[in-house]
Amino acid sequence: MRSLVIVTGTDTGVGKTIVTAALAAKAAAAGRSVIMVKPAQTGGDDDAGVVARLAGVETVTLASYPDPLAPLAAARVSGLPPLPMREVVKAVEGLNHDLVLIEGAGGLLVQLGEDGWTIADLAQELGARVVVVARAGLGTLNHTALTLEALERRGLEAGVIIGAWPAEPELVHRTNREDLPPLIGAVPENADALTPEEFRAGAQHWV
């Protein structure tokens, strides 16, 4: 049966792309066909390219905007059309992979496209499971709790993965790891600097 998983975060820059790559690599190693979908990319980054390189899976980006802003704002200032959610749903429904990973932009309630839809709206529409990527450091308990509460109010269940676990964790990192519920993994910081082979081997233990 096909699985749909939304990867969102407590904020921008928390490690969503690397976690997405780790999830993809683990699933691919188990023999599942995997594709990563990036609905909206901004700022000239190439999250789909990073996932393709590290995990060795198929990827697709549906819309790209040059400015490093929330996607709806980036569309507005660039004069490019905002992405309708129905186009994302149509694209995802047309896929027949075992696992479809959909990576959001920024946090859960960032406006991604036409009429201000968010990745939370998309998760509800698709009936997808959700993975929340969180920071390891100070402030993460509150940010994560707020994100999980917003998901729960929408009837969506989620697991939490730390997106950049420090090589030398301090007291706050260790206690946060104990207190982040429900924690289902932690990806080491700078994992994207590993070779694809090293990354794919490590992913089997991180998530």
Residue 119 CB partners (closer than 8 Å, separation 6+): 6, 8, 39, 102, 104, 105, 108, 110, 112
- Quick: pLDDT tens for 92-126: 999 999 999 999 999 999 999 999 999 999 999 99
| CA nearest neighbour of 56 among 205, 154, 206, 195 | 195
Give CA separation, 114 vs 5, 15, 118, 175, in Å.
22, 26, 10, 40
pTM score: 0.97
End-to-end CA separation in angstroms for the chain: 21
Please, is 141 exposed, middle or buried when counting C-beta atoms within 10 Å of its C-beta (0-12, 13-18, 19+)? middle
Question: Where exactly are the structural domains of the chain?
Answer: 3-206
Is 16 among the residues known to form the active site? no
| CA nearest neighbour of 133 among 2, 22, 39, 3 | 22
| Choice among 16, 26, 38, 90 that is catalytic | 38
Q: Taking 80 as the threshold, does the pLDDT of residue 1 lie above it? A: no
Confidence of residue 2 (pLDDT cuts 50, 70, 90): confident
Report DSSP state, residue 26: H
Q: What is the mean pLDDT of residues 67-86?
A: 98
Q: Taking 90 as the threshold, does the pLDDT of residue 181 lie above it? A: no
Task: Name the CATH superfamily, with its identifier, for domain 3-206.
Answer: P-loop containing nucleotide triphosphate hydrolases (3.40.50.300)
In contact, 166 and 189? CB cutoff 8 Å:
yes
- Could you give the CA distance from residue 95 to residue 89 in angstroms, rounded to a whole number? 10
Q: What is the mean pLDDT of residues 34-53?
A: 98
- Could you give the CA distance from residue 60 to residue 197 in angstroms, rounded to a whole number? 22
Backbone angles phi, psi at 133, to 5 degrees: -95, 125
